[in-house]
Amino acid sequence: MSGQPVTLTIDGKRLTVPAGTLIIRAAEELGIEIPRFCDHPLLAPVAACRQCYVAIEGQPKLVTSCSTPVADGMAVQTQFTNDDVRDAQSSVLEFLLINHPLDCPVCDRGGECPLQDQALAFGPGESRYVEAKRTYRKPLPLSPLVYLDRERCVLCQRCTRFCDQISGERFIDVLDRGAAEQIGIAAGEEFDSPFSGNTIQICPVGALTASTYRFEARPFDVRSGESVCSHCASGCNVTVQLRRGRVVRNLARDNLDVNDAWLCDKGRFAFSQWDRDDRLTTPLLRVPGLEPVSFEEALSAIAKWASGGPVGFLAGGRLTDEDAFALSKMARVAFGTNHLDHRPAGGGDTPVGVEAAQAAGMPVTYADVESAKAIVVIGLDAEQELPILHLRIRKAARRGAKVFVVHARRTRLHDVAEHVLCRAGEEAQVLAGLWGAPEDSAPGRMAAALREAASDAVVLAGPRLGDSAGAVAWAAAVAAEGEAKFALLCRRAGDRGALRAGVHPSLLPGGRRVDADDRRAHVEVAWGTLLPPSPGLDAAGILRAAADRRLDTLFVIGCDPLRDFPDAALARRALENVEHTVVVDVAAHGMDAFADAMLPAAAPIEQDAHLTDWEGRPQRLHAVRPAPGLARPGWQIFQALAEAAGADLGFDSLASLRGEMARLLPGTDGESSPAAPPGRPEPVIGEADADVTLFSYPLLVDEGRMSNGADVLKRALERPAFVEIHPVDARRLGLTEGATARIRTDAGEVALPVVVTEGVARGSAFVPYNQPGLAANTLLSGRLISGARLEPAETVVAEAGAGASRAASGPEAVG
């Protein structure tokens, strides 16, 4: 698109738009809506539905405005000024309706259906069709989540074009031809894409429906609120819809800066976690059983425990920005400690300077990714960990960006990216050897692409790269060397906000280092108090201290140490041994067994707050509904707790809290990347007698508590646990596809079905973090990488593969 300004008139109104703009878009700028079905601004034009006809003066034929770019001096007439256009549009609607069942009263789309709306506005009113209609068996389940009703389909191909152009998951396609043309899926296959729900949302008729929403509600009896998805750090803008106070549907909200118009299936279909049965609605205090008490009572008890001795704060990655900031300040101001961390196991080998740099501003944005000429992704399975970033990388690739992935496991970028499969833990070796790599090797091509793209390159370091020795430092150094933009990604929705807020043992708000006097002083002045000057314990340290009874009180805030921390045994010892455990959370999720006090927090959809995505972009959440019972936003709890402990956080309203955040975030004096490139990394050798390097990360749809209640989603997309190994290792270890392997590490042992694939690096074995049949942290000792021994198991272990498997059961009965 050249972008030269072009001036034209539409219905006599003059406007100037960049060359290359399609007429339908130009008309939108004037507020003239031309009816359309196949057109979608994020999909290439197809001009199939023929609904958007307009006339251009001097041209004998009508043209489709979705596929015709503007030209200088062009005079366009729409249905509002041209009878021929109105006639053409009306005839298309008549055509589209001849075989349509006209079942609006029982159609989920009724009331929010472009076909219905446009038929009313522009249609002929009455059909002249008297022949029998085309009928199809329906609904046709494409997956447990997505149902297809072909009779309602207008064959606009938005769904198949989405799969082709956006997700690259071409599970559905246009089958047959002529009047029998229809959308379909291959026999025996399912729409096994984590982006399948987008096709439902962009379907302009009721042909694709969500099994979770079928016959659930009408547009006019749901209440909608704007929010931001809290499943991951992608930052997707969503509309949350409730019926009688319960969430019945999540929809993507368009935001071209962030999620375009898309949402992953987890964001769309895992919406019942806030309506779970074990929501905390009142403070609870152990006396000795947990009993409901007032906030006042609970807070004074907690303040008493916590004032007595050392405390530590474990925060999940899902706090809102406001909550994280209040927590960061409370820990320091009210309890005088830097023992707080939002990271599951500390930063591993991540230089604190790199984190500090990420805490300030937006080092890389979606727009940077989209326009990049070269993208290097290190230690990230984007589809599974940051799905919307995955889509943006694909979009960049479609526009010609060269994409490289350095990872121990092949990712779903494989069709658009060159992968450098390296043994888990050896990413730093690949990066260190990059500039000297042979030209015809993948690393060599990566180096060339980075050099060529220079500042148009983006280097993305995955959220768990810190567990790989030297890797984050090397990633940052490679970016710096090539002048590329660099981001250390985070996975969970609250991670970036917590980092910025200083829910971190070494960093204060704005990425200011605790141990840097001038920077600490900045915060001390703002807060009007002296702060502890030396770094505190990170998450692992806090857990160890709790396990060793060196902490009196452990605050567990919005997290589940038993599942989240990559050392299940340590987490359990900590919870069992620490004197007092205080839980601040939305729901109990099993922590009631350990808690001495539980404080009910409001869910993200119940708060006026912000979440900062991986880019560093804070986005507003609105309270879609009130919090249940006495539950309240975390910042209010922390403010009250501080008060109970005799401290004043200095804000008593959201406005004053935000005022303070605005003054301290983003820190203008955060650090930039580390000055000196790291030394040549030493290869990481697993335990001396290890067969392979075991590595793990959470898959998108898993047993995590955020997916609680999302049973249909799990049936569609959740896989039972497995272990993936390379064929060479499989032969060496006597393992075959489908066999059961016994995996032993220093931390534990488990038996899992074997998947043999070249999609995993030699010498590595992958297990998902949290699938049915496996909590991988029972195998880990504080990092997501571990040496492991593998051998054929004598007997098949029953628990592997138990739990929700989509092969196991059918969808809910419908219709």
Evaluate the CA torsion angle 208, 212, 215, 221 in order and state its sign.
negative
Write out the two tokens for 581.
Answer: 């455990």
Q: Is 229:236 a contact under the CB 8 Å cutoff?
A: yes
**CB burial readout 355-373, b (16+ within 10 A) else e:** bbbbbbbbbbbbebbbebb
Q: How far is the CB of 274 from other proteins (least distance, A)?
A: 28
Nearest in space to 262 (alpha carbons), one of 229, 220, 213: 229
Enumerate residues 6+ apart whose C-beta is below 8 A from 15: 7, 8, 9, 26, 29, 30
Nearer CB in complex with other proteins: 88/559: 88
Q: What 3-state DSSP class applies to 768?
A: strand
Q: Of 227-235, 374-382, 619-627, 806-814, which segment contacts other proteins by CB under 8 A?
A: 806-814
Query: Binder to other proteins among 35, 123, 144, 466 (CB under 8 A)?
Result: 144
Kindly tell me which of 97 and 315 has the beta carbon lying closer to other proteins.
97
Q: Is 42 among the residues that bind other proteins (CB under 8 A)? A: no
DSSP 664-677: HSS-TT---S-SSP
List, edge to edge, every strand of the sheet that includes 75-77: 13-18, 5-10, 75-77, 53-56, 63-64
15: contact with other proteins by CB under 8 A: no
655 token code pair? 């406005």
Please select the residue that binds other proteins; options are 102, 120, 121, 180, rule is CB under 8 A: 180
The angle that helices 654-664 and 321-333 make with each other, rounded to 10 degrees, is 80
SS3 assignment, position 108: coil
Is 207 a binding residue for other proteins by CB under 8 A? The answer is no
Binding residue (CB under 8 A) for other proteins from 2, 31, 58, 61: 61
Give the nearer residue to other proteins in terms of CB position, either 64 or 337: 64
**Which residue, 177 or 244, has its beta carbon nearer to other proteins?**
177
Q: Site for other proteins (CB under 8 A): how many residues?
A: 62
Residue 497 CA to its chain's centroid (Å): 15
The residue (of 176 and 518) whose beta carbon lies closer to other proteins is 176
399 binds other proteins (CB under 8 A): no
Q: Is residue 762 near other proteins by the rule CB under 8 A?
A: no
One of 48, 403, 644, 649 touching other proteins (CB under 8 A): 48
Q: Is 190 in the site for other proteins (CB under 8 A)?
A: yes
The answer to whether the CB of 301 falls within 8 A of the CB of 317 is no
Exposed e or buried b per residue across 611-650, where buried means at least 16 C-beta atoms within 10 angstroms of its C-beta: bbbbbbbbbebebbbebbeebbbbbbbbbbbbbbbebebb
Answer for which of 30, 42, 46, 526 binds other proteins (CB under 8 A) is 46
Only one of the segments 86-94, 302-310, 432-440, 614-622 lies at the binding site for other proteins (rule: CB under 8 A); that segment is 86-94
Shortest spacing between CB 804 and other proteins, in angstroms: 14
Nearest distance, CB of residue 71 and other proteins, angstroms: 12
Smallest gap from residue 128 Cβ to other proteins (A)? 6
* Binding range to other proteins, per CB under 8 A, among 184-192, 271-279, 283-291, 697-705: 184-192
Tell me the backbone φ, ψ of residue 584, rounded to 5 degrees.
-115, 115
**Residue 314: helix, strand or coil by DSSP?**
strand
DSSP structural state of residue 163: I
Among 19, 75, 104, 174, binds other proteins (CB under 8 A): 174
The answer to whether 342 and 495 are in contact (CB under 8 A) is yes
Of 171 and 635, which has the nearer Cβ to other proteins?
A: 171
- The correct pick among 1, 125, 137, 675 for binding other proteins (CB under 8 A) is 137
Q: Which of 184, 225, 361, 535 binds other proteins (CB under 8 A)?
A: 184
State which of residues 31, 58, 188, 400 lies at the interface with other proteins (CB under 8 A): 188
The site string for other proteins over 461-490 (x = CB under 8 A, - otherwise) reads: ------------------------------
Tell me the per-residue interface mask from 92 to 121 with other proteins, x by CB under 8 A, - otherwise: x-xxx-xx----------------------
Direct distance between the N- and C-terminal alpha carbons of the chain, in angstroms, rounded to an integer: 47
500-522 burial: b if 16+ Cβ within 10 Å, else e: bbbbbbbbbbbbbbbebeebbeb
Residues interacting with other proteins, by CB under 8 A? 45-51, 53, 60-62, 67, 88, 91-92, 94-96, 98-99, 128-137, 140-141, 143-144, 154-155, 169-182, 184-190, 806, 810-811, 813-814
